[in-house]
A = this chain, B = another copy of it.
Amino acid sequence: MRVSYDELKELFNQILLQRGLYEDDAALLAKIVADNSLDGVYTHGVNRFPRLVSNIEDGVVDRKARAECLKSFGSFECWTGHFGIGPINAYRAMERACELAKENGIGLVALGWNNHWLRGSTYGLLAAESGCIGICWSNTKPNMPAWGGREPLIGNNPLIIAVPERSGAHFVFDAALSQYSYGKLEEYRLKGQELPYYGGFDDEDELTKDPAVIEKNGRMLPIGYWKGSGLSIALDLVASVLSNGASVKEVGELENERGLSQVMIAADPSLLHSRGTVDSITASVLEGITSASGIDGRHLRYPGQRLAAARKENLEQGIPVIDSVWERILALNKG
């Protein structure tokens, strides 16, 4: 079935208000989850909503806690998330990074002790919508061996880089540093398929495409082997140092993947170059990709390009929702 964006957002809002969120927090979180669905990223949208609600009910997420700036110096601020609602805290941190960028060209907010931010693209797109380049990342619990090791030791820390595009089809790179997510491994296993490319190591230390083996032994493959392993350590180190927050290792010592460290960087190119110049450079780079032909004869795509098309379709036709998911969400509404 399909549900209109407005109906979905309002239903989320009602359910969250019933769970005791502040009014503005409920409205913002409802918008974030509805927007993820609108973008076609249902795993981080409508499908995830019931779990978000149960995390709030269970107290894994503190519904009344709000991110707070602890210290600031110029364009650099250190915030704590107080174990509050991850996406709300991350959104406000990136909003602030963009304000700092407008004042000083570049802004950095390091946010420690937050919860899971849901979908990193949300914060990259937020920056892009305000005309800023957005760079952000989060650490995670240990879920991948470091290069040369066997036990999960490093995080697949997602990294996001977003650049505004004139028509709103913003460039947004959003990737975790494991070749596949655990969600993808599960998807392939349930379909009874092999992974298209190596996704981890088996128990004999050989590369494998068998999703079930990797789900079981936790030996996910970092992108680019030793390179992704090094990048993962780098992102964790920078995030925990800047936020005075928990490192991947320390997150692993808490339960439920709580207390994450996140970094939000925004820069506003239009403060030095005219908006026309910025837009034309962006258009030229992106057209260099989209005008090239791929192996399959179709044009290549840039990261984020499909989101704008999904938004348009889902706004016009409604957001696709699996019937059973819709029933679960309706049942959460105690209005």
Known: A149-B292, A224-B175, A240-B281. A272 touches B234 (CB 8 A): no
The stretch from A18-26, A48-56, A295-303 touching chain B is: A295-303
Q: Give the distance in Å from the alpha carbon of A146 to the alpha carbon of B292 in the complex.
A: 9
The residue of chain B having its C-beta at the shortest distance from the C-beta of A236 within the complex is B285
Contact B133 A241 (CB under 8 A): yes
Question: Apart from A106-B265, A148-B294, A247-B281, what 14 extra A-B contacts exist at CB < 8 Å?
Answer: A71-B272, A72-B105, A74-B75, A75-B105, A76-B271, A76-B272, A146-B292, A147-B300, A148-B296, A175-B230, A179-B225, A236-B285, A237-B285, A247-B285
Chain B residues whose CB sits within 8 angstroms of the CB of A91 once the complex forms: none
So how many copies of this chain end up in the complex?
2
Q: Is A259 an interface residue, CB under 8 A from the partner? A: no
User: Interface residue tally of chain A, by bracket?
Assistant: 35 or more
Q: Is A163 an interface residue, CB under 8 A from the partner? A: yes
Contact B76 A103 (CB under 8 A): no
Contact A163 B238 (CB under 8 A): yes
Which A residues from 143 to 158 make CB contacts under 8 A with B?
Answer: 146-151, 153-154
Q: Is A197 an interface residue, CB under 8 A from the partner? A: yes
Which A residues from 199 to 249 make CB contacts under 8 A with B?
Answer: 205, 222-225, 227-228, 230-231, 233-238, 240-242, 244, 247-249
Pick the contact of A163: B78, B148, B237, B300 (CB < 8 A).
B237
Q: Give the distance in Å from the alpha carbon of A17 to the alpha carbon of B265 in the complex.
A: 41
Q: Is A171 an interface residue, CB under 8 A from the partner? A: yes
**Chain A at the B interface: mostly helix, strand, loop or mixed?**
mixed
Q: Is A161 an interface residue, CB under 8 A from the partner? A: yes
Contact A278 B241 (CB under 8 A): yes
Interface residues in chain A, defined as those with a beta carbon under 8 Å from any beta carbon in chain B = 71-78, 103-108, 133, 135, 146-151, 153-154, 159, 161, 163, 171, 173, 175, 177, 179, 197, 205, 222-225, 227-228, 230-231, 233-238, 240-242, 244, 247-249, 265, 267-269, 271-273, 277-278, 281-282, 284-286, 288-289, 292-296, 300-303
In this complex, the member of A241, A271, A277 whose beta carbon has the largest number of chain B beta carbons within 10 angstroms is A241
